[in-house]
Structure formats: structure tokens, C-alpha cells
Amino acid sequence: MVDVRLLAMTDDPEELVCRCARNDYYDGKIPDDDFPTVMNGVGGDTVDEKQATLVKKLMLRGHWGVFEHPQMTLWFRVSRSCMAQITRHRHVSFDIQSMRYVDFSEVDPTSEEDIKRPRTWDQEKVSTREGTRAIEGPVEERRELIDETYERCVEAYNQLVDAGMPKEDARMLLPIGTKVNITASMNVRAALHIISMRGAGDAQAEIQELADGVRDVLEEHMPTTMRIWNENQKAIERQRLSP
């Protein structure tokens, strides 16, 4: 599993979404009133019910802008391959462990913790959009090939660094599966877009795991939002996050 951890998050993110949304239709000043007063007029008996009513309405109307107010910062560790995919998301700010300044000579080529194995490395067949097909040859031989190649790559990296080559040059020999630590800051709208696009069944395995990690953080900190998101996927699909 991709190791995803929360570094920081806006306090009361769901209250903030609702306050910002209510601001648009409120004749008073939102900062002057407590939350129950701000939610007056929204359907529901309790503040929690009113919050759920409003969040659902926002999502079904495609009023996604209000989800841009809460922010979160995550830390995760993924392969350089997955890094190339996640950093395509332009509304996210990233910091990535440097292969120029950090010494990767301690990378353990036999450990999935340091170098990601291909998803199909121990499978006899693979399912693709075109159907299912066999991967030829014994699984054991393929695993050995991958292990030996990774070991050789790290060994070569170490030889070059030991010989005095700059790390930023020697890194060219490290496999694309080599993992790096990343911090990423995003608003909740961008996070939902990532969950929607990268958590899809046909997304690549590692980025799916990363999207699942982002989803877990949101489920913990924005349970109402995520419950409504999960329950209304079909209707939300018609109100695409990025129409």
C-alpha cells in the first residue's frame, strides 16, 4: 500500500465549505454569526442534517468552487513513475525528495519499500482493456530477472557515486520504480478530482492506491462530504468536477 499521511488540514473543513456557500445567499455577515445561525433556512432538524442537505445540494448542482476553500497537505512515498503521474495535477503544490542532494546509495533493491515492483511481476496473466492474455515464462524466472536488474542498477549507481560522479548524474541509472518522498498541498476540490480520476478501476495500480490514501484522509476529516460523494456518484458524474 502507498504510505499516505496527513501533515496539515484546515480546521472544520465541512463547516468552512458550508459557511462559504451560505455567504452567497446570506444577508448578514458570516463571521459575525455562529454556525447554527448561518445554517438557518437550510432543510433539516439538526445542524448536522442541515450540513448534509447543503453539501448534497452543492454537489448535485456542480457548485464545486466552495470545496476549494479547505486545504490539506499530505506526505506520501511513491515510485518516480507514480510521481510523474500525480505531478500532472496542476492545482496541487509539490515538494519532491531531491536525487541531486539526497544520497540513494542505501536504497534496498530487494525491498518494495524502496523500489516498487511492477504490478504484474508475479502474475501468470494480465487483464487489459483489450482482454486477458498470458504473460509468458515461469513467474519465478521473471521475479529473478526483476530483482537482479534492480540490484544491478543500484550497484551501478553506487559505483558511479563512489567514483566521484555527481548524484544528479548517477541517478539516471536508478530504476523508474525507485521511491521518493513527496509533500503535496491541495484544496478539497482538487483532491476529489484526483480521487475521481486516479481512483478509477482502470487507473494504474500504484496511483489507485495513492488515490485511496487521499480518500481515507477525506473520509476521516470530511465524513459527511464523503458519504454524500459515495452515495451519489451517478448523479455527481453528470456534474463533472471539471466540466
Ligand X SMILES: Cc1cc2nc3c(=O)[nH]c(=O)nc-3n(C[C@H](O)[C@H](O)[C@H](O)COP(=O)(O)OP(=O)(O)OC[C@H]3O[C@@H](n4cnc5c(N)ncnc54)[C@H](O)[C@@H]3O)c2cc1C
Tell me which stretch binds ligand X (CB under 6 A): 40-48, 88-96, 146-154, 171-179. 88-96
C-beta closer to ligand X: residue 105 or 120:
120
Q: Which residues are catalytic?
A: 198
C-beta closer to ligand X: residue 143 or 240:
240
Total residues contacting ligand X by CB under 6 A comes to 7
Tell me which stretch binds ligand X (CB under 6 A): 3-11, 18-26, 86-94, 224-232. 86-94
**12-27 b/e with 16+ CB inside 10 Å = b?**
ebbbbbbbbbbeeeee
Minimum distance between the CB of residue 53 and ligand X, rounded to whole angstroms? 27
Tell me which stretch binds ligand X (CB under 6 A): 83-91, 107-115, 134-142, 154-162. 83-91
**Count of beta carbons in the 10 Å neighbourhood of residue 223:** 11
Residues 135-174 contacting ligand X, CB under 6 A? none
1, 11, 31, 88: residue in contact with ligand X (rule CB under 6 A): 88
50, 193, 215, 221: residue in contact with ligand X (rule CB under 6 A): 193
**Cα(3)–Cα(155) distance, rounded to whole angstroms?**
26
C-beta closer to ligand X: residue 233 or 242:
242
Residues 90-109 contacting ligand X, CB under 6 A? 90-91
Question: Which residues touch 100 (CB under 8 Å, ≥6 apart)?
Answer: 166, 167, 168, 171
CA dihedral sign of residues 74, 77, 83, 86 = negative
DSSP H helices, 39-173, are 47-61, 80-86, 139-162, 167-170
Q: Answer yes or no: are the C-beta atoms of 94 and 109 closer than 8 Å.
A: no
128, 132, 233, 242: residue in contact with ligand X (rule CB under 6 A): 242
- The reply to whether 129 sits near ligand X by the rule CB under 6 A is no
- The reply to whether 89 sits near ligand X by the rule CB under 6 A is yes
DSSP conformation class of 42 = S
- The reply to whether 197 sits near ligand X by the rule CB under 6 A is yes
Provide the β-strand partners of residue 159: none
Q: Which grid coordinates are listed for 153?
A: 542498477
With residue 216 as reference, give the H or E element that holds it. Answer: helix 205-221
C-beta closer to ligand X: residue 50 or 193:
193
Residues that bind ligand X (CB under 6 A): 88-91, 193, 197, 242
